[in-house]
Amino acid sequence: MGTKIPSRIMGVDPGLTLTGYGVVECRDGSVKLIEAGVIRSPRAQGENLPARLECLFDGLREVMDEFRPQTVCLEEVYSHTSFPRTSILMGHARGVICLAAQLSRIPVIHISAKRIKQSVTGNGNASKSQVQRSVQQFFSLVRMPHPPDVADALAAALCYVNSLRNRSNGVRPNRHVQGVRI
């Protein structure tokens, strides 16, 4: 018995200033792009982190209410020892994304950046432009999705679709499973 692929999947590339999102629809074995874009929050100024998070939350809820995805695919935080503050700030954004999804009763799938890149480009260390080109080619877009956050969000959704297709075909993808991580 195959794994059922949700009909609407929302991919999210978390950020505090720009959060990329992409909504795809799966029907009859094909994946169609429904909507993609970015949610822009105010730039950091003094103590405006709560206002930035509220802006992100409101934008996410608006997209979720309009497109009603059955699953949200969220890129995990990549932490680099040279930039620990970036990981902490990204954690704030991820928390708000998880809260928005929870309040909309949408399950969240957490996927590593390396896994997403491997799935859509064949290279877990692919550059931003390689991901953009792969997403452009997959959806037959006239130009590369810009900014790269949009392509990253769409790539997260495609990675999830690919993992479910592999499971339904009896192929066990190379993945680390812990809860709902793929």
Output the DSSP codes for 30-54: EEEEEEEEEEE-PPP-TT-HHHHHH
Beta bridge partners of 32: 25
Q: What is the DSSP letter of 171?
A: -
Q: Is the dihedral of CA 111, 149, 120, 114 positive or negative?
A: negative
**Phi and psi for 99 in degrees, rounded to 5?**
-65, -45
**CA distance linking residue 171 with residue 51, whole number of Å:** 45
Beta bridge partners of 36: 22
Please name the residue ranges forming H helices in the chain: 49-67, 84-103, 113-121, 128-138, 148-168
Q: Are the C-beta atoms of 113 and 181 separated by less than 8 Å?
A: no
Question: So which residues are the catalytic ones?
Answer: 13, 75, 149
- CB within 8 Å of 65: residues ≥ 6 apart: 104
